[in-house]
Structure 1
Amino acid sequence: MPFTDEEITELKRLHAEGLGRNAIAREMGRSLRGVSVHAERLGLTFDRTMTALATQAKVTDAKARRAAIVQRLYARTERLLDQLDDADNGGFKFTTSTVNGIETESLDHVPGQEEKALAGAITQYMNQAVKLEQLDGDPGVEAARSMLGSLAEGLTKLAGLDGGGDDSGEG
């Protein structure tokens, strides 16, 4: 369907505003092909520099978002490791349901199931951090992956040592 005079004026105006072909087609409710054909007839071209810059900006933004997520994963991992370390000073908070209701007490050790769960969470956080870092090709990822793989393997072995039983010392 041919463009009306009003649509041609609109096409010229949107092009002058710097909109790309796709944006103009959406704005006008026309097909991409129709916009391209009429723009060519009018001698209008679409500079791909703006598209390339916009794409690069999105790539950069996504990389920054992934980096922020990686930092959050590391922070969570550190908090979990701190929980495990606090047990050495009687600072591991253990909450359980009893006949008296919900009770919390500080332990000087981490019960087996909790240690296993924390070790699993640490492993998952670290694995996800490494995968996200690999997307951006950060240097040193291979060394980090090797180190984290060894850490994850060690944590898994450590968590599995007690067989997941209750080590509270009670019958």
Structure 2
Amino acid sequence: MARRYDIQTTDEDYDNVRRLHAQGLGRNEIMRATGRSANLVSRLAREMGLSFVRGPEVAVATEARRQDLAARRIALAEQLQADAENLRAQMWQPTVVYAFGGPTNSYSEHVLDEAPAADKKALMATAGMALDRSLKLEPIRDDSGADAARSMVGQLMAGLAEVYREQQEEACSEGAGDAP
């Protein structure tokens, strides 16, 4: 194998690139491990007939990451849904209201059967935000037969178009026989 030597390149560089490539490292990983430039690593690999083409591996890894993120979004959507349900339930639970005040800055509290209106409003707004975020992460997927209806309408339109075409052909053939 003809090696191109220059001041920057050593036999150790070739050995390192070959060894690290055999371990499955990519060009940038080899570059970081050896402290050599990306151009030098690429050139040495090319001279040794090594390739960094990893398209299929990258595609598999990308798809796995996409699926992992989708699963995490679903889990977060479920947690936000549970948060919304818990916040809504708090509106109807016994609630302690308290205050500090008076000349002695004394503390007083009362237990109410349910949250005061202002607290209910805040709880409902917060529950609404949690539910909204949940639906953005994992939208409802119920088309209620919309695809079937679109298909039926498409078939109906195709049938009507066929009947219209046949009627036009008949009219043309009948009209042709009446010509002088």
Q: With the length of structure 1 as denominator, give the TM-score of the two structures.
A: 0.67
Q: Work out the percentage of aligned pairs sharing the same amino acid.
A: 35
* Unmatched tracts of structure 1, length 5 or more: 144-171
Q: CA–CA distance in 2 between the matches of 1:102 and 1:69?
A: 39
Corresponding residue for residue 61 of structure 1: 68
Pick one of 42, 49, 52 that aligns with 2:56. 49
Q: Aligned pair in 2 of structure 1 residues 3, 52: CA closer, same or farther (>3 Å)? A: farther
Match of 2:120 among 115, 131, 136: 115
Distance 1:112 1:118 in 2: 10
Look up the SS of the partner of 2:138 in the other structure: helix
Q: 1:40 corresponds to which residue?
A: 46
Q: Give the alignment partner of residue 6 of structure 1, picking from 7, 12, 16.
A: 12
CA-based RMSD? 2.4
- Number of aligned positions between the proteins: 133
Find runs of 4+ consecutive structure 1 residues off by over 6 angstroms: none
Structure 2 partner of 1:80: 87
What is the rounded CA distance, in whole Å, between the counterparts of 2:133 and 2:25 in structure 1? 38
Partners in 2 of 1:59 and 1:3 — Cα distance? 40
User: 2: distance between equivalents of 1:104 and 1:30?
Assistant: 72
Structure 1 residues 94-113: Cα deviation after superposition (integer angstroms, max 9, x where no partner)? 332234426351x2333121
Query: What does residue 25 of structure 2 align with?
Result: 19
> 2: CA distance between counterparts of 1:27 and 1:45?
18
Aligned counterparts of 2:90 and 2:40: Cα–Cα separation in 1: 63
For 1:32 and 1:139, how far apart are their aligned partners in 2? 47
Query: Which of 87, 92, 97 lines up with 1:95 in the alignment?
Result: 97
Query: TM (normalized to structure 2)?
Result: 0.64
